[in-house]
Chain A
Amino acid sequence: MWTEPKRPRLNLAELHQLRWLLGTLLAALSAWTVPDMGIDAWGWLALITVAAPVMLWRPAWSTRLPGWAHRLAFPVILGLAAVDCRLDPGRVLPALVRLTLMLLLYRMVTARKRRDDLQVIVLGLFLVVVAGVLSVSVVFVLQILAFTACALLFLLTITLADTAGGAAEAPAEWARVRWLVLARRVRAVANWYVVLLGGGLFVGLVAVSSIVFIFLPRFEFENSLFLSRLVQGKSKTGFSETVSLGAVTDIQNDPGIAFNVDVSDRAQVPATPYWRMLVLDDYFAPGQFRISSALMGTLRVTPDKTTRFLGTERRPRAGASTWTVYFEPGISKYLPLPGRFGQLMFAEQQEPFNGNAELGVVALSRPPTRMLAYQLDELDLTTPPTEPVGETDESGEPRSAPKNPDYLDLGLLVKNDERTIWLDKMTAEIAAPMSTPEDFARRACAWLERRHLTAMQVANEPAEGLPTDTIVRWLAGTQPGHCEYFAGAFVLLARAAGFPARMIVGFKGGKWNSHSENLVVRNSDAHAWAEIYDAKKNAWLRVDPTPGADVFGSLTGGRRGEAALQAMTDTRFGARFDSLRVFWYRRIVSFGQDTQVRLATAVQQVFEGWGRGLKDYLREKRVQFRAWFAQPWDWRRLAWGAGGVMLLLVGARWWRTGRLAWLRRRGADPIRREAGRWLARLAAGDGADAVTLRGSLERLRYGAAPTWPDPAKIFRAARRVAARPRAAGGSGLASPG
């Protein structure tokens, strides 16, 4: 076998070197998706990260592993996986991921055959997909695209190496690789046209994938994803049932996005939205708040898996305000809620969870391991939370007046206790005589602001002569503090003054992303504030005692709508990238059957619109032409008409001759081709005219152009001969096209 090479070619050893490079890159790339899963596998990840460059530097080491090591490798790996499962029972997925990493590491450090290369691809795909499913992150798009490109190149190299080498083993010199030399060789071998075509085809692949994704028929079986149950989600300590002072402030150090919010009614957005997550009513130890068991008992458990949780039980009205929250994983199992809602809808079915709409708390069964989307219908940002009323009569009115809940008995504050003495002294200083909760809140916040500044770091060490309780000691002094100190202090002061109060943790504020037109709330917006109970109104009033904040947290007043959004607009350059994440959540992650139907309807409408437009346009042109034609003719109009006819004739002439000349220049004479096709069709025909015709066709097919008969006549004759049997009821001869 011989060929005429025009460009250099990669030899077998170079193809194997390229294969080694791509396989190692693919393994490392897929291994680095594991951090997105939130699975603890840093040790294996570090080993893979070290092994990748080392094995690229010295590929020869991969062949030096003794045979007994290969024989022992799989039993050892399986043994390690078994031990892993044993040490962490009930968590199959982390063990499976660590097993995959071990296998990848083994394949990275040993010489691979074709079967092993395919194993690397399958293992890598498993990691990428699991990471995508668990994180639902926009990074998944980059990961899957990089993985696909790398895997396709890898497979291409494997195919070429297999073709070049046949069944032979890789030549020994493949391990003596010099990457710079190889890079130069690849550059010399690369054909720019092929490279461009490859790039274009990859872009095409992405486009086709998008189209397939959009048009894949969807049948929603309403099943939650099994993988999510195999991993345990994490939550930040500031948003768990027990919160120590400083835990929320720690969250503020994280600039990551906590959740994105799509708002249907921009006019409703307040300048400073408060996102309640957790109500902490029990000050059970110095500096530590928790949700009491009594309050926890008010959370109703949904009976079964569901996507819907009713709030005020008002059915959503058409055009009602709807906010969609895309809650990031790893924050909390308590959902951020900006106010009262009529209905809470999840994008996917959830395991049974707890919630109380009046309390304004919804707690999932466990922290979500991936982005959780939920929609709040009939959102009401102005009505404060209420205490659940007792029995009601037929008209819905409570039979008895609301009373202070039991869990507000303030048993914590014992008479003549050190804390009580200190707090009594302070409340006397704040407000005398006691009036309404609102009045007390205003005075208490002003008192706190006078004595304390805000600071992220608090120096609140025990000292002689000061109270032992952390918050009371801080109150007694004048040190600066953060939001939790202010909120905790206010709760204690209010309770000492006889007003039920509780601490709330969640988020405050956020930014408006004008690119994607949504609210972005970051972990740095984590905040703690307080609520004070107004028995007359049966309402928990929001009180934000942190200096600089509106005391009642803009519950009813403050800027709203466009003015608020303008003040909140995120002007950073990074806002553009944040908008990509929202696009991902809106258009990709939330894509479903309904979206598909809407999209199909929209496409249909667009095409119908185009069709109507075209029809109208043609009709209009026809009318215009007829009107123009009906007008009296003069020389000018005649000249225009003649010009148009000439143009048509020139176009027809070009189609007849110019196009043929162009085809001939490209080496594809259409007359010869047509003659060839007719020859093939008429090969079986007999009779004198068929024989004569074949002679003429052969002349057209093979003869020199000057000796040709008139091609049009010959082809017409060929058509007649071909049609003859058909007309006679035979099978007929097809046109050669």
Chain B
Amino acid sequence: MKTTGEDTAGILTWEAGRPRSDRVPRDGGAREWHGPGFRWRRRAPRGQRWRWALWSVLLPPPERWRLRPTMPGALLGALALAIGAAAYNTANNILFITLSVLLSCLLLSAVLAWLNFRGLRWRLRGQATLRAGAEDTVTAEVRNDKRRLPSYSLWFELETAGEPQRAGLRERLDPGGCAEIEWRVRPVRRGRLRLELAAAGSVFPFGFLRQTVGIGQTQEVPVWPAATAYQWVGGSAGWRPQAGEQRAPYGPRGGDLRAVRRYAPGDPQRVVHWKASARVRRLLVREFVAEREEGLLLWLQTAAERWPRPEQFELLCSLAATLAEDLFHAGRLRAVAVDGEPAATVRRAGDVEAFLDRLAVLEPAAGLALSEGAHAARRGRMTFAPDGARGVVAYVDGTKTATA
């Protein structure tokens, strides 16, 4: 990873040179660089700054810069108090000198701590998604914009669902250098998870003071349903991906060539018919028979009457998500639909991800009629129904195909 340019206003253009960064962040705010003291400056209105400063001493806002003594710092403070008491009690200038040196050391510590944080910028890297029950990595980027001074001993705190996790830089961050800090996150359930880069801190330089800078940079990430094991019972009614089989999500969907049509956004590059495109000077893609005829419509009906048990509804979401991914990888997923909404055609991985995003926040729809709905007449539709008290079964055109 490297920085490719910086506009002169201090906002950076970040080029993602690695596959992880190709994902488009769902939260634009998470891409913004933050640094020490940004928020406070913004929020203090003119004419009230002194009042703000005074009040913030008594009731420091969470994003304020805070200095708290560590155990050695408290020891030093106690030592300074004892020496100060002895100095005043005896008017001994040797003790006053010692007291002065101790106080100056504390001051120097605070100055170096400020220098250490000066010119630092950090941000949460745009996190695309997480999956319930699966461990994933959340990354923050930190850069040192100082010209000459490195920064040391930094740590950052990530809060996920109210649980803080701390990760630190073990090495020096050179001037102009960048670093990534990673946390391992395992969401428990689907939904939207709030990631908050809560604070940055350090005990540099002498370990007397623990300085903390509140950040409060948040990002909401959809948590896809957990992958679930299912049993494929559909036989020829569908296609069950075999273990170890090569998946080609972006490759040709198989089958005979049916036609050549104009390129539509989302079509994979591998289906582009280059010769035909060159001939007509327009981008054309190949369309296969299987794509048109053998694909399935994955139709999810979420009526609360059908799914009265929350755990069964969760299983429905997990099964639907798993099947959607598997069918897409097998090139058998044509479209997806939820309740009476129009079916969304699935051409690329992004379409499946959008469906999984939808599944992340899907809730049983109260008051929805248990009718076949808009897609009842379509061929090749996969529907779901409860299977006993706990299970879920998937049907393709009324034929039992998969159970979980």
Please determine whether chains A and B interact with each other in the same assembly. Answer: yes
B180: contacting residue among A1, A136, A225, CB under 8 A: A1
Is A732 touching B45 in the complex (CB atoms < 8 A)? yes
Residues of A within 8 A of B169 (CB): 1, 3, 163
Is B152 touching A6 in the complex (CB atoms < 8 A)? no
A702: contacting residue among B9, B79, B95, B153, CB under 8 A: B9
Is A201 touching B90 in the complex (CB atoms < 8 A)? no
Nearest A residue (CB) for B182: A1
Is A676 touching B174 in the complex (CB atoms < 8 A)? no
Nearest A residue (CB) for B38: A680
Is B206 touching A159 in the complex (CB atoms < 8 A)? yes
**A216 CA to B108 CA, complexed, in Å:** 18
Least Cβ–Cβ distance between A733 and chain B, in angstroms: 8
Is B88 interfacial (CB 8 A cutoff)? yes
Residues of A within 8 A of B95 (CB): 129, 133
Binds B, one of A189-197, A271-279, A313-321, A646-654: A189-197
Is B378 interfacial (CB 8 A cutoff)? no
Is B77 interfacial (CB 8 A cutoff)? no
Least Cβ–Cβ distance between A133 and chain B, in angstroms: 5
Residues of B within 8 A of A191 (CB): 148, 150
Binds B, one of A103-111, A416-424, A571-579, A585-593: A585-593
Least Cβ–Cβ distance between B139 and chain A, in angstroms: 9
Nearest B residue (CB) for A145: B101
Binds B, one of A203-211, A254-262, A387-395: A203-211
Residues of B within 8 A of A216 (CB): 96, 99-100
B99-110 vs A, CB cutoff 8 Å, 1 = contact: the mask equals: 111011101100
- Considering the complex, which residues of chain B in the window 158-202 have a beta carbon less than 8 Å from any beta carbon of chain A? 167-182
- Considering the complex, which residues of chain A in the window 155-179 have a beta carbon less than 8 Å from any beta carbon of chain B? 155-156, 158-160, 162-166
Among all A-B residue pairs, the 6 with the closest Cβ atoms:
A672-B9, A734-B46, A669-B8, A155-B206, A163-B153, A212-B100
**A1 CA to B122 CA, complexed, in Å:** 14
Is B45 touching A734 in the complex (CB atoms < 8 A)? yes
B90: contacting residue among A5, A125, A224, CB under 8 A: A224
Q: Specify which of B100, B179, B203 lies most central, judged by the most chain A CB atoms within 10 Å of its CB.
A: B100
Is A222 interfacial (CB 8 A cutoff)? yes
B93: contacting residue among A4, A156, A591, A672, CB under 8 A: A591
Residues of A within 8 A of B88 (CB): 218-219, 221
Residues of A within 8 A of B244 (CB): none
Ordered by A's residue number, 11 sampled pairs between the chains whose C-beta atoms are within 8 Å are A5-B174, A5-B177, A118-B75, A148-B105, A159-B204, A164-B170, A166-B168, A194-B149, A221-B88, A589-B93, A675-B9
Is B168 touching A163 in the complex (CB atoms < 8 A)? yes
Please tell me the number of chain B residues within 8 Å of chain A, measured between CB atoms: 63
Is B245 interfacial (CB 8 A cutoff)? no
Is B91 touching A592 in the complex (CB atoms < 8 A)? yes
Is B254 interfacial (CB 8 A cutoff)? no
Is B98 interfacial (CB 8 A cutoff)? yes
Is A3 touching B89 in the complex (CB atoms < 8 A)? no
Is A664 interfacial (CB 8 A cutoff)? yes
Is A667 interfacial (CB 8 A cutoff)? yes
Is A669 touching B9 in the complex (CB atoms < 8 A)? yes
Residues of A within 8 A of B111 (CB): 201
- Considering the complex, which residues of chain A in the window 686-737 have a beta carbon less than 8 Å from any beta carbon of chain B? 701-702, 731-735
**A162 CA to B155 CA, complexed, in Å:** 12
A226: contacting residue among B8, B90, B104, CB under 8 A: B90
Is A152 touching B10 in the complex (CB atoms < 8 A)? no
A223-B91, A592-B91 known; A668 and B8 CB under 8 Å?
yes
Residues of A within 8 A of B98 (CB): 125, 129, 132, 144
Residues of B within 8 A of A (CB): 6-11, 42, 44-47, 72, 75, 79, 83, 88-101, 103-105, 107-108, 111-112, 148-150, 152-153, 167-182, 203-208
- Considering the complex, which residues of chain A in the window 217-256 have a beta carbon less than 8 Å from any beta carbon of chain B? 218-226
A1-B170, A3-B178, A218-B91 known; A205 and B108 CB under 8 Å?
yes
Nearest A residue (CB) for B95: A133
Is A348 touching B172 in the complex (CB atoms < 8 A)? no
B97: contacting residue among A9, A208, A588, A664, CB under 8 A: A588
**A223 CA to B149 CA, complexed, in Å:** 48
**A638 CA to B316 CA, complexed, in Å:** 93
Least Cβ–Cβ distance between B202 and chain A, in angstroms: 9
**A225 CA to B168 CA, complexed, in Å:** 47
Is A156 touching B206 in the complex (CB atoms < 8 A)? yes
B101: contacting residue among A2, A144, A591, A664, CB under 8 A: A144
Is A140 interfacial (CB 8 A cutoff)? yes
Least Cβ–Cβ distance between B152 and chain A, in angstroms: 6
**A155 CA to B71 CA, complexed, in Å:** 13
Is A450 interfacial (CB 8 A cutoff)? no
B178: contacting residue among A4, A152, A212, CB under 8 A: A4
Least Cβ–Cβ distance between B93 and chain A, in angstroms: 5
**A287 CA to B400 CA, complexed, in Å:** 128
Nearest B residue (CB) for A673: B9
A3-B173, A156-B205, A588-B97 known; A672 and B89 CB under 8 Å?
no
A162-B207, A226-B90, A588-B93 known; A734 and B75 CB under 8 Å?
no
- Considering the complex, which residues of chain A in the window 331-360 have a beta carbon less than 8 Å from any beta carbon of chain B? 348
**A680 CA to B182 CA, complexed, in Å:** 30
Q: A133-B94, A136-B94, A673-B9 are in contact. List 8 more A-B contacts (CB 8 A).
A: A125-B79, A133-B95, A163-B152, A204-B108, A223-B91, A225-B92, A669-B9, A731-B45
